[in-house]
Chain A
Amino acid sequence: MTISKEKMSAQHIWGVVRYFLVAIIVVFFSVPVVWTVLTSVKPDILIPKMPPSWWFRPTGEHYVSIFLEKHLGKALWNSFIIASVSTICSLAVGVPAAYAFSRFRIPGGENLAFYFLTSRMAPPISVILPLFLIFKTLHLIDTRVALIIAYMTFNFSFVIWMMRGFFNEIPKDLDESAMIEGCSRFGAFCKIVLPLTAPGIAASAVLCFIFSWNEFLFALILTNIEAKTLPVAAAGFITDRMVLWGKLCATSVVIYLPVMLFALLLRRYLVRGLTLGAIK
């Protein structure tokens, strides 16, 4: 009797301790996000106040002012166009290649597929330095095209590697039986295999979009004014004299919202994508 009672109370204590620990974890990982959102709707006078004010009448002034600033609307549009086009191009090139790596016996195919992946692991500076010089001679600096190409360097190898994994999960017999019934290989690929991997394609597309949307260094180097993207614009709120925290936080929320939505939709594939397909 007494033993089980002791065990019971030990378990009870552990339960309480665990909730306490979980609470600390939740606070640590969510405070910066909550803080950003709060500041984005905080009146300017209250922002540099210590101790911080957690309760106040929210204001939309920062959001209004960033959308009234012409260059921010433009940066939002640039970010959207660059991320979308780069994603679409990467899929158009990468998906068929991934299919080939999954279905055909290609001499040295395994090494080749891995070689494609290594271009993703290269340090940004080793990619951006030659691209900067090449784009400079082609007069492509500060254009959207330059960033679309730059983002393809990591997106399209990502698509190949991810989609190869998704294609491998679909039995080969499926395309073969379609071919016996008179489909061409390409017909089987388009009509049978692609629809079956639709979730995989969607997941790869969304991850490519997020990688491009969040990217900073390439955008900083390759653009000035015309093709500037949102993260670079956000960093621009830090000037030598002052930091415009309200506007900065409002811009951060604008950058963050679509990514957050996508992440919630994609929960199942997020780990797979971030580990380059190694963990499912």
Chain B
Amino acid sequence: MVNRKKIEPFFYLLPAFIVMATITVYPFIYNVLLSFHEWNLTTFRGKHFVGGQNYLGIFRNPDVWNSLRVTGIYLVTCVGFEFILGLAIAFLIHSEFRGKAVVRGLLLFPMIMCPVIAGLIWRWIFNAEWGLANYMVNLIGLSGKPWLVKPRLALFSVILADIWQWTPFIVLIVLAGLQAIPEELTEASEVDGASWWQIQRYISLPTLKPVLLIGLLLRTIDGLRFVDKIFVMTYGGPGSATSVFGFFAYIRGFKFFQMGRTAALSIILLAIIIFLANVFIRLFRGAR
């Protein structure tokens, strides 16, 4: 009986362990080993061991540093704007007004759109000749711009598409956080003469802190994993102006077929994600 109790959990866990081992652990180990080999699928030379060469090569490659820089700009700008806008919108629509339910419903739509489709639609919006962006720009009396052709504008365009897709996510989580604040608390402080700002500063913001940290964690990880929109909007260009790290690694692997180097790149990206995730999780535990 005792024995049976001990093995019982494994009955439920075994399938998950088997699946985990075959589809994630084994490929991961394979990937780590691969990162110490040179293997180019376009040549007939097979896989051979090169030690840490791939990693050294990465640190010496200016293209890698460029893609890290692009990723950094992209990440900080996107996450920054998504949080500022998301917070502002959430506070704006938190109070009661007619049509609130409709506005909330509409806000769901961007974030469930297939990212690659969102990218395609925004590529069209930014089309210099017949895109909506230049139409709007013309309406307010400015001249149209070649959005996806100029390096800086291209990065801006991709960032704007991402802001469009993910700001509603921040709005929704902030609204969920605001709903958790008991009304009696804000009412009582209003009676005691606290101003709107004071209530937000001393009651809402501290309660929202864990929610915001979770949002920050998820958006940062997603931002580092991001590639879909780049594919269809700019394909990393013009030049390498929008070549974020994930996209750069993809090109090494599936256009130049340098398997070992791509493996090393993907492991560096994974390490960055794990490091940042741990920082945020520590912060999160502190906030609780």
Which residues in A have some Cβ–Cβ distance to B below 8 Å? 15, 18-19, 21-22, 25-26, 28-33, 35-36, 47-52, 92-94, 96-97, 99-100, 104, 106, 116, 118-119, 121-127, 129-134, 149, 152-153, 156-157, 160, 185-186, 210, 213-214, 216-217, 220-221, 231, 234-235, 238, 243, 245, 248-249, 252, 255-256, 259-260, 262-264, 267, 270-271, 274-276, 278-280
Chain B residues positioned under 8 Å from A48 (CB to CB):
129-130
Assess the B135–A133 pair: CB atoms within 8 A. Answer: no
Tally of chain B residues near chain A (CB < 8 A): 82
Residue B168, interface by CB 8 Å: yes
Chain B residues positioned under 8 Å from A51 (CB to CB):
135
Assess the A185–B16 pair: CB atoms within 8 A. Answer: no
Pick from A15, A126, A279: contact of B176, CB below 8 A.
A279
Ordered nearest first, which 6 A-B pairs have the shortest CB separation? A97-B16, A126-B266, A130-B27, A100-B12, A214-B114, A104-B9
The contact sample of 6 A-B pairs, CB cut-off 8 A, is A18-B97, A106-B9, A119-B20, A126-B270, A134-B30, A185-B8
Chain B residues positioned under 8 Å from A153 (CB to CB):
23-24
A48 to B134, CA, bound (A): 13
Residue B15, interface by CB 8 Å: yes
Assess the A122–B13 pair: CB atoms within 8 A. Answer: no
> In terms of DSSP, what is the predominant structure of the interface of chain A?
helix
Assess the B117–A123 pair: CB atoms within 8 A. Answer: no
Residue B112, interface by CB 8 Å: yes
Given A130-B30, A259-B114, also A216-B9 (CB < 8 A): no
Smallest CB gap from A90: residue in B: B19
Smallest CB gap from B108: residue in A: A263
Assess the B250–A270 pair: CB atoms within 8 A. Answer: no
Which residues in chain B, 106-120, are within 8 Å of chain A measured between CB atoms? 106-118, 120
Assess the B108–A256 pair: CB atoms within 8 A. Answer: no
Smallest CB gap from A49: residue in B: B130
Assess the A50–B130 pair: CB atoms within 8 A. Answer: yes
Assess the A25–B103 pair: CB atoms within 8 A. Answer: yes
Chain B residues positioned under 8 Å from A126 (CB to CB):
28, 31, 266-267, 269-270
Residue B87, interface by CB 8 Å: no
- Bitwise interface map of B from 211 to 255 toward A, beta carbon under 8 Å scored 1, else 0: 100110010010011011001100000000000001001100110
Chain B residues positioned under 8 Å from A260 (CB to CB):
109, 112
Tell me how far the C-beta of A115 lies from the nearest C-beta in chain B, rounded to whole angstroms: 9
Given A216-B228, A270-B108, also A160-B16 (CB < 8 A): yes
